[in-house]
């Protein structure tokens, strides 16, 4: 008889023992990652150790979230799409290395991957269908692209292969480029956002511009804009009427690529005398605990807080719990991570179907629990959370917890529905693989993977505005809070 989990785990309770474990020689994975499946089995799949991740992780370790695509990047992508856009220097790959990476991928999928209800045993059949594509790939980028298409057939998030150049960028949290967020459209790449102070900003690129050619060549690859810092690139740009206020025109801009950090620090802005907006773009890169605690101290006494998690693809579990500790009472149960081992223990003890992840989570007694942070009392006013289709993983767990435990309204558009605990596995030749190891269920029994959170107040999706006082989503959120708060209590229908 398998012993049923009986003890709750706080954010810091596993960090020391996990961080000291040795490396896994096969995958060269630090022990925050290697052997994690066994740790989750023993401790109830809690994943609350320092360095556990929920998404765009900055170092090898368990994670939850969406892998960033291109920066000169693509905005957060939804599950089912090809989540990893490969780019960087072209690297030729031979049949022996491809065979080694494929063998390692097969072993990871077979032995470590877990998501409720997913049959990873069909990977062998998927490989057979894609074998010719694997054989035809001549570069690391082409090979990883075909592997990702094959992995996408499982229809879940957090299952990706990174080519060596992309893996390096993930670890270093920087890249050589011009500093824009882009999407691929007919005829080129549309600029969605320009990083302040970046080469693109200095050259005058603005949101809505469409890059139609790079160095005189039509764009057929999202990696075309990237390159080594200090190198020059000529962009042919179509400026549409809606962007320039006149008929569309075409210009050529010459830029010098720079080193672009992927980190965006948290920020805050007051809106009127009674409200504050705190923006958080990641739970990994740029997540500065001291800075965030300072923002919450400065917001103390205000009646309303808008937490902006739009375009936040997720990050560290410990950072997620740190943030929730600033808004929820210590000891609040948030949800449950369900690992393969926990599901097997549930089936053995109860004799029931372990594919019902909500039932498994209800059975388990170990839950994610908040703890007091920095001697700061949880924010006492009313909170609204801004979300959109690029709000994933840790962002979705945060939004769901605040909705379920504080009645906080979600404002914006549907979230990504991408919530699985995952880890990065280092592979042969510099490749890396992100693999899911645990599912997640909120404390009120809502599985978030492939089940996006719907907003309470819908606002057409658009990128956040720099000035919060003019941002429609911020204004809608505050209007809702003010209209539905009476004597400091939020009324919910």
Residue where one domain finishes, among candidates 233, 261, 289: 261
162 vs 101: CA distance, rounded Å: 11
Tally of domains within the chain: 2
**For residues 280, 113, 101 and 50, what is the CA-based torsion angle, rounded to 10 degrees?**
40
Residue where one domain finishes, among candidates 234, 261, 288: 261
Range of the structural domain that residue 461 is part of = 1-166+263-493
402 and 478 co-located in one domain: yes
Length of the chain measured in residues: 493
- Which helix (H) or strand (E) is 164 found in, with range? helix 164-172
236 and 334 co-located in one domain: no
Q: What is the pLDDT of residue 341?
A: 96
320 and 378 co-located in one domain: yes
Q: What is the pLDDT of residue 82?
A: 27
pLDDT in tens, the chain (493 residues): 433 433 333 333 222 222 222 223 232 222 223 333 332 333 233 333 323 334 333 223 455 554 333 334 444 333 222 233 334 456 899 999 999 999 999 999 999 999 999 999 999 999 999 999 999 999 999 999 999 999 999 999 999 999 998 898 888 888 889 998 787 788 888 887 788 789 999 999 987 899 999 999 988 666 788 888 999 999 999 986 454 445 678 999 999 999 888 778 899 999 999 999 999 999 998 899 999 999 999 999 999 999 999 999 999 999 999 999 999 999 999 999 999 999 999 999 999 999 999 999 999 999 999 999 989 999 999 999 999 998 999 999 999 999 999 999 999 999 999 999 999 999 999 999 999 999 999 999 999 999 999 999 999 876 677 788 889 999 999 999 999 988 677 876 6
pTM: 0.75
199 and 242 co-located in one domain: yes
Tell how far CA 370 is from the center of its chain.
21
Nearest to 240 by CA among 251, 249, 227, 253: 249
Q: Distances from the Cα of 335 to the Cαs of 9, 14, 402, in angstroms?
A: 12, 17, 12
Q: Which residues contact 386 (CB under 8 A, 6 or more apart)?
A: 306, 307, 308, 309, 310, 410, 411, 412, 464, 473, 474, 477
148 and 53 co-located in one domain: yes
* Residue 215: CATH number of its domain: 2.30.42.10
Q: What is the pLDDT of residue 241?
A: 45
Beta bridge partners, 254, equal 234
367 vs 354: CA distance, rounded Å: 18
109 vs 81: CA distance, rounded Å: 19
230 and 341 co-located in one domain: no
Q: Is the CA virtual torsion 22, 25, 30, 35 positive or negative?
A: negative
Q: What is the pLDDT of residue 361?
A: 98
Residue where one domain finishes, among candidates 227, 261, 295: 261
237 and 318 co-located in one domain: no
Q: 170-188 burial by CB neighbour count: b if 16+ within 10 A, else e?
A: beebbbbbbbbbbbeeeeb
69 and 141 co-located in one domain: yes
132 and 205 co-located in one domain: no
Nearest to 195 by CA among 284, 292, 264, 278: 264
288 vs 319: CA distance, rounded Å: 9
244 and 379 co-located in one domain: no
Exposure on the CB side of residue 231, measured as CA atoms within 13 A: 11
271 and 388 co-located in one domain: yes
Answer for the pair 366, 43: CB distance below 8 angstroms, yes or no: yes
Nearest to 196 by CA among 250, 245, 267, 252: 267
Q: What angle do CA 20, 22, 24 make, to 5 degrees?
A: 140
* Residue 120: CATH number of its domain: 3.90.226.10
Q: How many other CB atoms sit within 10 Å of the CB of residue 155?
A: 12
138 and 212 co-located in one domain: no
**Strand arrangement of the beta sheet that strand 267-271 belongs to:** 267-271, 275-279, 304-308, 382-387, 410-412, 457-458
């Amino acid at each position: 008889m398998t012993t049923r989990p009986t003890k709750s785990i706080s954010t810091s309770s596993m960090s020391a023992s996990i961080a000291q474990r040795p490396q896994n020689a096969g995958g060269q994975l630090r022990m925050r990652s290697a052997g994690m499946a066994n740790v989750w089995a023993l401790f109830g799949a809690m994943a609350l150790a320092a360095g556990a991740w929920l998404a765009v992780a900055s170092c090898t370790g368990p994670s939850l979230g969406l892998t960033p695509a291109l920066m000169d990047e693509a905005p957060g992508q939804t599950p089912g799409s090809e989540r990893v856009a490969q780019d960087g220097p072209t690297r030729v790959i031979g049949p022996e290395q491809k065979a080694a990476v494929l063998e390692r991928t097969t072993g990871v999928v077979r032995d470590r991957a877990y998501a409720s209800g997913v049959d990873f045993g069909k990977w062998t059949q998927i490989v057979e269908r894609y074998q010719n594509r694997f054989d035809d790939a001549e570069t690391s980028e082409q090979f990883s692209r075909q592997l990702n298409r094959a992995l996408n057939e499982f229809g879940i998030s957090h299952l990706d292969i990174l080519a060596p150049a992309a893996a390096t960028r993930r670890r270093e949290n920087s890249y050589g480029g011009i500093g824009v967020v882009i999407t691929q459209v007919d005829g080129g790449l549309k600029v969605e956002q320009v990083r302040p102070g970046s080469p693109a900003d200095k050259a005058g690129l603005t949101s809505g511009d469409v890059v139609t050619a790079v160095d005189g060549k039509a764009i057929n690859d999202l990696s075309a804009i990237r390159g080594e810092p200090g190198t020059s690139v000529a962009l042919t740009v179509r400026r549409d009427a809606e962007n320039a206020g006149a008929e569309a025109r075409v210009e050529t801009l010459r830029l010098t690529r720079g080193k672009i950090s992927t980190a965006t620090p948290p920020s805050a802005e007051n809106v009127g005398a009674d409200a504050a907006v705190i923006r958080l773009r990641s739970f990994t890169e740029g997540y500065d605990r001291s800075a965030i605690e300072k923002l919450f101290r400065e917001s103390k006494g205000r009646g309303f807080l808008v937490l902006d998690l739009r375009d936040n693809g997720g990050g560290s579990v410990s950072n997620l719990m740190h943030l929730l500790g600033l808004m929820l009472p210590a000891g609040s149960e948030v949800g449950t991570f369900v690992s393969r081992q926990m599901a097997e223990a549930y089936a053995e003890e109860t004799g029931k179907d372990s594919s019902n992840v909500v039932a498994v989570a209800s059975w388990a007694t170990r839950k994610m629990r908040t703890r007091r942070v920095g001697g700061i009392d949880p924010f006492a006013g009313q909170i609204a959370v801004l979300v959109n289709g690029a709000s994933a993983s840790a962002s979705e767990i945060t939004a769901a917890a605040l909705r379920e435990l504080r009645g906080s309204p979600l404002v914006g558009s549907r979230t990504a529905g991408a919530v699985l605990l995952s880890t990065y596995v280092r592979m042969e030749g510099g490749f890396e693989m992100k693999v899911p190891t645990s599912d997640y269920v909120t404390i009120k029994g809502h599985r978030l993977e492939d089940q996006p959170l719907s907003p309470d107040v819908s606002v057409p999706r658009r990128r956040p505005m720099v000035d919060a006082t003019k941002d429609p989503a911020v204004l809608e959120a505050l209007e809702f809070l003010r209209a539905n708060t009476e004597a400091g209590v939020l009324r919910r229908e």
